[in-house]
């Protein structure tokens, strides 16, 4: 058992009827093989097309946050691969999703990313659709011999997406035969329901175009083995070494210990100014830096029943640490009782050498807190910002810098994995979520589609 686990076990209750099963005592990391992962999958256009046909068009993914569609007529446009997708709240208060395509000649129908409308009008020839996707008008239908017997309104409706709401997010599936979202999310989804994520407010959303395949982005955020080399400052307030990992059907999770000092640092006691700032600590705390997480559990238990956060629903690990869950294929939730950040890894529309990485921050504010304003921005790969400046206070600059460090590997991984000198990836135990993810991709590409995410 890792040192941090022993320390935590001294205060943590691991028994209980928790919706989120504690990681501790830790399950052995499953042995799912040790073969190398090929580089071809990151570069091949044919592989990219197969992923599109077999994975992206058949799985559940997040379109936008429910709060972005507050009033009837509010809409958001979201891109996934080559598709433009439209989400809108109807006059009947129902949130729907459609392919954002004009049924006349195939123009992109709604060409702003967000806004509020009474109807959607194609800028090319002026055909219009209602908020529920039904056809509203064809311009001068008398000019179309095929409409002389009447306009086939059903055939001209916007093609719908399957849409479900979960955790405060609007999820969609392009496959009309897809099973229910909660079946797809499975046990991992039931764990996260303990946070009541639907009560969190969206406070920021930034997107980055990275010069690497979407799977390199996925892989960069689904192991903690890289913390020591890439994010050494992180070790002063979090553990990244040998963390508990579990595979949950086609999804997976890991536990990131927060509010503590990594067991690989020689001095874990001293409360430096940097540690003080990053660890956060209960008032009057005068213990060792490494033990702040223990005090945080005690503090939150003491607040139980008097806070807008239902700590009683959360196990002790959840009070102090970060639960990191990834839903196949492209959605990560990394959550605490106060904040939940969603990462989306999206394939590029045409080039396997690029991807989009979305960073969506939600916060559990007391009810009635006004929604903070934020501006979405997409940074292209040739204009990547200083990330701390891009988040402008909505995300701690130290953590924004960590994200910047993650992004720097994208072009170099893309280049390196295409080299004749690359022999395939060697994945260790701490990288088992990556192996499981690539195996799940292979499984889908073979035509084995688990409708239920638990299997
Ligand atoms: S392409 Fe949309 S109205 Fe003609
Ligand atoms: Fe990282």
Q: Closest Cα to atom 1, ligand 1: which residue?
A: 105
The CA distance from 348 to 346, in Å, is 6
Distance 126 CA to ligand 1 centre (A): 6
Give me the torsion for CA of 100, 104, 107, 110, rounded to 10°.
-40
The CA distance from 391 to 298, in Å, is 32
The CA distance from 110 to 117, in Å, is 10
Kindly state the tokens that stand for 66: 């429910």
pTM: 0.97
H helix or E strand, kind and range, residue 217: helix 214-220
The CA distance from 249 to 366, in Å, is 34
Q: Closest Cα to atom 4, ligand 1: which residue?
A: 125
Ligand closest to 156 (CA) is 1
Q: What is the pLDDT of residue 372?
A: 85
- Residues 42, 216 contacting (CB under 8 angstroms): yes
Handedness of CA 115, 117, 122, 124 (dihedral sign): negative
The CA distance from 3 to 113, in Å, is 48
Q: What is the pLDDT of residue 414?
A: 98
Ligand closest to 104 (CA) is 1
Distance 229 CA to ligand 2 centre (A): 10
Q: What is the pLDDT of residue 2?
A: 84
Distance of CA 35 to the CA centre of its chain: 28
Counting ligand 1 atoms within 8 A of each CB, the residue from 99, 127, 143, 151 with the most, and so the one to mutate, is: 127
Distance 176 CA to ligand 1 centre (A): 25
- Residues 414, 212 contacting (CB under 8 angstroms): yes
Distance 111 CA to ligand 1 centre (A): 12
Atom of ligand 1 at shortest range from CA of 127: 3
Longest dimension (CA), the chain: 83
Look at residues 306, 314, 355 and name the one whose alpha carbon lies nearest to residue 335: 314
- Residues 189, 172 contacting (CB under 8 angstroms): no
Distance 226 CA to ligand 2 centre (A): 7
Domains of the chain: 3-54+181-445 (3.90.380.10), 61-166 (2.102.10.10)
The CA distance from 325 to 333, in Å, is 5
Any idea how long the chain is? 455
Residues in the chain, pLDDT under 70: none
- Residues 356, 380 contacting (CB under 8 angstroms): no
Distance 77 CA to ligand 1 centre (A): 18
The CA distance from 453 to 455, in Å, is 5
Could you report the per-residue pLDDT of 403-435, keeping only the tens digit for each? Answer: 999 999 999 999 999 999 999 999 999 999 999
Look at residues 122, 121, 85, 117 and name the one whose alpha carbon lies nearest to residue 100: 85
Ligand closest to 121 (CA) is 1
Where do we find the tokens 């430096």? 272
Pocket of ligand 1 from Cβ distances under 6 Å: 102, 104-105, 107, 122, 124-127
Distances (CA, A) of 418 to 52, 220, 342, 352, 437: 21, 17, 29, 12, 20
List beta partners, residue 451: none
My answer on whether omega of the bond before 329 falls inside 30° of 0, hence cis, is yes
Distances (CA, A) of 30 to 35, 224, 443: 15, 17, 18
Q: What is the pLDDT of residue 16?
A: 80
In 281-374, which residue ranges form alpha helices assigned H by DSSP?
Answer: 292-303, 316-320
H helix or E strand, kind and range, residue 256: strand 251-256
Q: Closest Cα to atom 3, ligand 1: which residue?
A: 125
């Amino acid at each position: 058992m890792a040192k941090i686990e022993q320390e935590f076990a001294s205060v943590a209750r691991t028994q209980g009827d928790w919706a989120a099963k504690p990681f501790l005592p830790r399950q052995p990391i499953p042995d799912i093989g040790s073969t190398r992962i090929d580089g071809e999958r990151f570069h091949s256009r044919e592989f990219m097309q197969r992923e599109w046909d077999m994975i992206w068009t058949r799985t559940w993914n997040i379109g936008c946050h429910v709060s972005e569609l507050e009033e009837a007529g509010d809409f958001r446009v979201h891109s996934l691969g080559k598709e433009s997708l439209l989400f809108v709240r109807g006059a009947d208060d129902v949130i729907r999703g459609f392919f954002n395509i004009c049924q006349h000649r195939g123009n992109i129908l709604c060409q702003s990313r967000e806004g509020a409308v009474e109807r959607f009008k194609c800028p090319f020839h002026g055909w219009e659709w209602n908020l529920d996707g039904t056809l509203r008008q064809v311009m001068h239908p008398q000019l179309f011999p095929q409409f002389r017997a009447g306009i086939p309104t059903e055939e001209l409706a916007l093609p719908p997406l399957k849409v479900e709401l979960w955790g405060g997010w609007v999820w969609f599936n392009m496959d009309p035969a897809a099973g229910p979202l909660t079946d797809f999310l499975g046990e991992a989804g039931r764990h996260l329901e303990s946070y009541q994520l639907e009560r969190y407010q969206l406070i920021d959303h930034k997107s980055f175009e990275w010069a690497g395949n979407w799977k390199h982005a996925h892989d960069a955020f689904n192991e903690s083995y890289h913390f020591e080399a890439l994010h050494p400052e992180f070790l002063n307030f979090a553990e990244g070494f040998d963390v508990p990992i579990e595979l949950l059907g086609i999804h997976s999770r890991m536990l990131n210990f927060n509010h503590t000092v990594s067991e690989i640092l020689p001095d874990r006691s001293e409360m430096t100014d940097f540690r003080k700032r990053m660890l956060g600590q209960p008032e009057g705390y005068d213990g060792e830096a490494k033990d702040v997480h223990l005090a945080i559990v005690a503090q939150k238990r003491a607040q139980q029943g008097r806070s807008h956060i239902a700590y009683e629903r959360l196990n002790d690990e959840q009070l102090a640490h970060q639960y990191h869950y990834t839903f196949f294929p492209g959605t990560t939730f990394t959550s605490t009782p106060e904040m939940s950040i969603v990462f989306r890894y999206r394939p590029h529309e045409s080039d396997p050498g690029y991807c989009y990485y979305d960073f969506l921050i939600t916060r559990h504010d007391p009810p009635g807190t006004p929604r903070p304003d934020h501006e979405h921005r997409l940074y292209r790969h040739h204009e990547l910002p200083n990330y701390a400046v891009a988040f402008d206070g909505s995300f701690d600059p130290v953590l924004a810098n960590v994200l910047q460090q993650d992004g720097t590997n994208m072009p170099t991984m893309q280049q390196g994995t295409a080299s004749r000198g690359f022999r395939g990836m060697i994945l260790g135990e701490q990288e088992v979520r990556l192996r499981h993810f690539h195996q799940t991709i292979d499984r889908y590409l073979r035509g084995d589609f688990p409708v239920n995410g638990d299997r």
